[in-house]
Structure 1
Amino acid sequence: MKRNMRKILKETDVSKFIEYKENYFNCLQDEGETDFLNYLQKYYFQTEERVMMWAHCHRINAGINTNMAIESLNKLLKYNKMCGQRNIRVEKLLDLLDEIVDEKMWKKIIYSERPNSNNYQHKITMESHKKAEHMSDMVETSECGFKVQSCSEKDKYYLVYYNELCDKDCRTGYCNKCKLCLHRYKSQCPENTIKSVICKHIHAVALFEVRSKSVLGSGNIDMSDKNDILYIDEPSSSQLHYQNDVTNFIQENSIKQEHKPLNFDERREVQALKYIIIMFLTIKFIGHDGGDS
C-alpha cells in the first residue's frame, strides 16, 4: 500500500498519475480500507486544485517539493520571534516578518561571499556526479539533445536537453567538477524536475561532452571565444545585479536602522556587516578599474 502511494506521489506524467490513482482506490475498496479511502478523497483528492498543490505531475520545475521549509519558517516566526505569543497586533507581526527578511538577506550575502561547501545541495550534487562517472556507456545523442538510460529500468530513457547559458559566474547548484550550473541543462528525471538539483543524468551528459571534445580536439578559437577572453575581467550582468541588490539593501537597512532603537550588540553587528560588505564592493570595484586600465 505504501509503495503504491509513493508511486502516485512521485509520478510526473498526468495520465499515469490518474491511472495509478484509480487502481489504488480500487485496491483500497477491495481490501475494505474505506476509512482511509474516504480520508484521501476528503483531504487530498477532493478537487483538482487541491491535487495540484502536492502531486509531482502538477509541480514540474516548481523548485519546491516539500513543505518542510515552510514549517521551518513558521517555527522560526512562532517560537524565535513571537516567543509563543498569540493574537499579536498586525503591525507587530509585520515588523517581525521584516526582521526575518533582513536576517535572511544578511545570511545570503555572507554565504555568497563565503560559500559553505558542506551544504545539502552541494552534497547531493557531488553524489550525483560520482554516480555519473560509472554511466559513460549509457549516453546517446538524439535530435532534441541526449538520451540517458535509466539505472533502474533498462528500457527507460531520460531526455536531457540544453536549457540556457547563464553568466560564467552563476553558482546556482554549481558542480565544481563539471563546471556547470543548474540552468545549463534540463532533464526529465524527477531529481531535476521536482527537487531542482543536477541529477546524475545531467552529470553523465556533461562528462560525455567533455570526452567528445577531448577526442575531437580543441581546434581554432572562434570569435566568440576571443570576445570572452578580451572581456573576461569585466563584471557580468549577474554580478552587477547582485551588487545593485546588496547596495540597495544596505541603503534601505541603514534608513530603517536610523529610526529604530538598537542595543549595543545589535548596532555593533550591523555596523560590522555593513563595513565588510562595503569594503568588499570597494575592493572589487577598484580591481575591475585596475584591470581595465
Structure 2
Amino acid sequence: MSDMAECFFNGWLEVMGEGNASYPQHLFCSWHVDRAWQSNLTKISDREKRSEIYKILKTLQRETPLLQFTSALTNALTYICNNEKTRNFGEYFKKNYAYNFRKWAYCFRVEAGINTNMHLESMHKVIKYFYLERKTVKRLDEGLIAVLKYVRDKSVERIIRLTKGEHTKQTRFLSQNHKEVLKHIDNYIIETNNYNISWTIKKNEQTSYTIYRLLDIKCCEQICLFCEVCTRMFSCECKFYLENRTMCKHIHMLINKLQTENKLETVPDFRVDNISTELLALSEKPNSSNKKIKDIKDLASKFESLDFEKFDDETINKIHHHLIIAKNITSCSNFPNDINDNTKFQLRNESNKRLIESHIRLTSTKNNA
C-alpha cells in the first residue's frame, strides 16, 4: 500500500520478481485518494454539484459487494461524463481511476484490515529525522543500522508496556464501542442458525447480518475488556468489519447476549492457565526464610564440631575468607537499625565536601580604556 506513485511497487517487483506464485496486489492509500479527489473537485464550479459528486465517489469507494460496485461504477461514469458541469472532472476521473479500480475500491481489500499507510509514513519519518538526523544516507549498511535500532527501541517499548499492563489504543477503542453498543442493544433481534457456530442479527426486515464463530480460544492481545474475547474469534458480514477487521457492534451485541444466557463456551488459554497454576503453587509454598534460618543454625552447630587442625593452609584461608564476608554482611544489615534519626541527620550534614576550599577568583588583566 502506498500513494498513487508506482515507484514503491515497481521497486518491490524489481527485487522480489514478478513470477512468484503469490503476486502482490498494489493498493492505494485511501487518504491519498481522498485528497486527490478533493483537490480536483475544484474543476466543478457549482458547489452543490461538487458535494454531490464527492458523495457519489465516497459511496462508490466504500461499496464492498463486487457486483454492486461494478454497476455503480458504470452508472457513476455515465452520470459524471454526460453532465456539462462535471464533464471536466469526469474526464480526469476516467483517465486516472476508471482502469485501476482494483487499487482504490474497498471491495478488493475485504478483510485486509488496513486502508491507509499512515503507520508506514510515520515509521519512515521517525527513521529519517531521529535515527538518520535528516542526513541523506547512500550506504546500505548505515540504513540497515538505523532500521535495526528502530526495531530494537520499539521492541523495548512493547516489553515495557506489556510489563506495566497498559491498555493499547485498540483495546480502548473496543471498550468504548462496547459501551456505546449497549445503549442500542434493545433495537436488534438475534437469531441462532447453528448452535455456537453462526447467528443472524437484524434491526428490521431489510437489513440483517450473519456472524460466524471462527475460533474457540483467544489468539491475540486485541481483547475487549467486557466481552473477554479477541478480535479474531468472530466475523461479521457488515461493512465495518470488512473494512477494519475488528469487532463491530453486532459482535459486541452477540457476545453480550451469550454472556447473559451463559452460552459463551470458550476454551481457556493454556498460557493463562500455566501462569495462574504457577502463581498458586508459589502462594501455597511455606515461608522459605524460616527454612533458611534453620539451615544456617544447623551449619553453625556442625561448624563448631569440626577439627580444623586436619585441614591444610589453603582450606583454612578459604574458610577464613568466607567467614569475613559473612561477618561484613551481618554488620551491614544491622547498621541501619542502630542509628536513630538524629544521628542520620548529623552524618548527612558532616560532609567532606564542606571542607573543600573555594577556588581563587581570577580577574581580567585587560585595561579598561
Between the aligned partners of 2:205 and 2:180, the Cα distance in structure 1 is 16
Q: CA separation in 1, counterparts of 2:133 and 2:277?
A: 43
- What is the SS of the residue equivalent to 1:147? strand
Match of 1:89 among 101, 119, 139: 139
Please tell me the residue identity of whatever aligns with 2:170: Q
Deviation at 1:164, TM superposition (A): 1.0
Question: Kindly, what percent of the aligned residue pairs are identical?
Answer: 21
| Pair 291,191 (structure 1): closer, same or farther in 2 beyond 3 Å | farther
Shift of 1:231: 9.5
Q: 1:203 aligns to what?
A: 252
Q: CA 1:285 to 1:165, structure 2 compared with 1: closer, same or farther past 3 Å?
A: closer
8 A Cα contact 2:232 2:246, kept in partner? no
Q: Alignment partner for residue 9 of structure 1, among 61, 71, 81?
A: 61
Taking structure 1 as reference, are residues 29 and 95 closer, same or farther at Cα in structure 2, changes over 3 Å only? same
Question: Displacement of 1:13 after TM fit?
Answer: 0.9
TM normalised by structure 2 equals 0.54
Q: Quote how far apart the aligned CAs of 1:291 are.
A: 7.8
1:56-104: per-residue Cα shift (whole Å, max 9, x none)?
Answer: 1111221212121122122222222233333532221111111121122
Of structures 1 and 2, the one scoring higher in RCO (CA 8 A, sep 6+) is: 1
Q: 1:73 to 1:154 in 2, by over 3 A?
A: farther
Decide whether the 8 Å contact of 2:193 with 2:199 is kept in 1: yes
Counterpart code for 2:207: K
Look up the SS of the partner of 1:111 in the other structure. helix
In structure 1, runs of 5+ residues without a counterpart are 236-283
1:122 counterpart = 2:171:
yes
Give the secondary-structure state (helix, strand or coil) at the position aligned to 1:142.
strand
CA 285–156 in structure 1, closer or farther in 2 if over 3 Å, else same: closer
CA distance in 1 between partners of 2:82 and 2:281 (Å): 75
Distance 1:41 1:71, change over 3 A: farther
Between the aligned partners of 1:229 and 1:202, the Cα distance in structure 2 is 21
Residue 141, structure 1, aligned to residue 181, structure 2: no
Match of 1:110, SS?
helix
1:39 aligned residue:
92
Report the CA distance shift for 1:42/1:100 in structure 2 as closer, same or farther (over 3 A).
Answer: farther
Cα distance in 1 between the residues matched to 2:162 and 2:144: 27
Report SS of the residue matched to 2:230. Answer: coil
- Mean Cα deviation higher: 37-46 or 85-94: 37-46
For the pair 1:99 / 2:149, whether they are aligned, the reply is yes
Match among 110, 119, 128 for residue 69 of structure 1: 119
In structure 1, the residue corresponding to 2:209 is in which secondary structure?
strand
Return the alpha-carbon distance in structure 1 between the equivalents of residues 281 and 172 of structure 2: 37
Once residues 86 and 65 of structure 1 are traced to their aligned partners in structure 2, the CA distance between those partners, rounded to angstroms, is: 30
CA distance in 1, matches of 2:142, 2:207: 54
Shift of 1:229: 11
Asked if the contact 1:234–1:288 (Cα under 8 Å) also holds between the matched residues in 2, the reply is no
Cα distance change of structure 1 residues 55 and 107 upon mapping to structure 2, 3 Å threshold = farther
Q: Residue by residue, what CA displacement relative to the aligned partner does 1:98-154 show, whole Å, maximum 9, x if unpaired?
A: 11211222222222222433x43233212321233222442222246111225xx76
* C-alpha RMSD over aligned residues: 3.4
Q: Is the 8 A contact 1:233 1:288 kept in 2?
A: no
Assess, with a 3 A threshold, how the Cα gap between structure 1 residues 37 and 78 changes in structure 2: closer, same or farther. Answer: farther
Q: Which runs of 5+ in 2 are unaligned?
A: 1-52, 286-369
Offset of 1:165 from its aligned partner? 2.1
- Match of 1:194, SS state, is helix
SS of the counterpart of 1:186? strand
Q: Aligned in 2, Cα 1:75/1:147: closer, same or farther, shift over 3 Å?
A: same
With normalisation by structure 1, the TM-score equals 0.66
Q: Secondary structure at the match of 1:135?
A: helix
